[in-house]
Amino acid sequence: MSAADAPRALPGSLAGEQPVWHRMSQAAGLVSPTGEVQETIFGRMTQLALSVDAVNLGQGAPGDPTPDFLIEAAHRAMLDGANQYPPPAGAPALREAIAEQRLRDWGHRVDPQDVLVTTGATEALTAAIVALAPLGTDVVVLEPYYDSYAAAAQLAGARLVPVGLDLREDGADVDLDRLAAAITDRTSIVLLNTPHNPTGLVLSEEQIVRIGALAAQADAWLLTDEVYEHLVFDGTHVAPATVLDDPRVVTVSSAGKTFNATGWKIGWVIGSPEVITAVRAVKQYLTFATGAPFQPAIATALTDHGDFGARNAQELARRRDVLTAALREVPGVRVVPAASGYFVLADFGHLVEEQGVTGGASALNEHLSREVGVTGIPAPALCAAGSPTAQALETVIRYSFCRTAAEVDEAAARLRASVRG
């Protein structure tokens, strides 16, 4: 790439410094080797699937429709006039419903005043990181991770410190000694994603207590991402705030995954009054307020349809089992079983050895898309570029089993056909 083709500094940027948007894009893996800002990995894999007529198991969006009770509740709210700015902190009914849900489901006692409604969990996490991570500090995360973590840390002027999970044939796990080594006096936030995306790891109470102690020793915030809290198949979700009883625990969750309504973007942050004041100050200048008619609808769902998440989890577990069984029938494939969430990780290292597929996980995913007809996401795209975890996952693909039952069944059939063929 010539100097003339390089990204031009925006007005006001310091000479020789990249603007924040470019650093965020780079942190999230959106900058190509030639320096161009490209489509997200999810968009690129969707284009790949369309181009070769593959089943697209790359998207982490539910294939099933949003339940009628939720749509009807939003419709009623619109007809009742909930179409202008709602209170910036969130509709009181929703904040109360969230507090009731946390107590009912996890024993987490919350004052509704300590709940801040956000435009999805992504805004909640971003606003919390910007509010709580001082410039130049470290944000420690489990790797692989949701890609917005890296962008949010970069926006805050913080450094993302990834700690690789151990991925085994009996599931994922965290090495607490490795995590302890990553937490230092520079650490401002330990970002704990449980249930974990994309491995499906569900942390135990004992693990959470030990991690909480590590964060407390460093006087760091423990920021929890619990968006898959109701989609646990094996084991039980443990809400860190219930077992730690520490004001430094800040909880983030959302309704999208639980109720198949990811496009509504209704999330929330729960924390001490001081935390909520700080996070709200950031949110104020991101979106100001969040989807007025969706808030009372989600409040109704949390209050009157709290069992929907469990029923959703049962169906997702069935699809997980279908896809996992098909992957295991492919000779040489190693599967990391998922105890929760939307995804399963499969290691196709044998293709590299037996069929000479080279070029890393991206080339491997393209090969499988063309030859088998199933598209996923290269697992290194969910890691820090060049990290030890990214290198260890160079033959691993992430597949979504949250798509429709028909899509998952078709993908399983194609995988089995590839073995017979």
How many whole angstroms separate alpha carbon 260 and alpha carbon 312?
Answer: 9
Task: Tell me the three state secondary structure of residue 410.
Answer: helix
The residue to which tokens 């181009």 are assigned: 51
How many whole angstroms separate alpha carbon 24 and alpha carbon 414?
Answer: 38
CB-based burial, 212-237: b 16+ in 10 Å, e otherwise:
bebbeebebbbbbbbbbbbbbbeeeb
For the segment 87-127, what is each residue's pLDDT rounded down to a tens digit?
999 999 999 999 999 999 999 999 999 999 999 999 999 99
What is the pLDDT at residue 352?
A: 79
pTM: 0.93
What is the pLDDT at residue 173?
A: 98
For the chain, which residues score pLDDT lower than 50? Answer: 1-4, 7-13
Residues in the chain: 421
Supply the DSSP string of 45-81, one letter for each residue: HHHHHHHHT-EE----S-SSPPPHHHHHHHHHHHHTT
The amino acid sitting at 7 is P
What is the pLDDT at residue 355?
A: 78
Q: What is the DSSP letter of 31?
A: B
What is the pLDDT at residue 23?
A: 87
Helices vs strands, H then E, count in the chain: 16, 15
What is the pLDDT at residue 338?
A: 98
What is the pLDDT at residue 40?
A: 84
What is the pLDDT at residue 35?
A: 78
- The torsion defined by the Cα of 239, 241, 242 and 244, in degrees rounded to 10, comes to 120
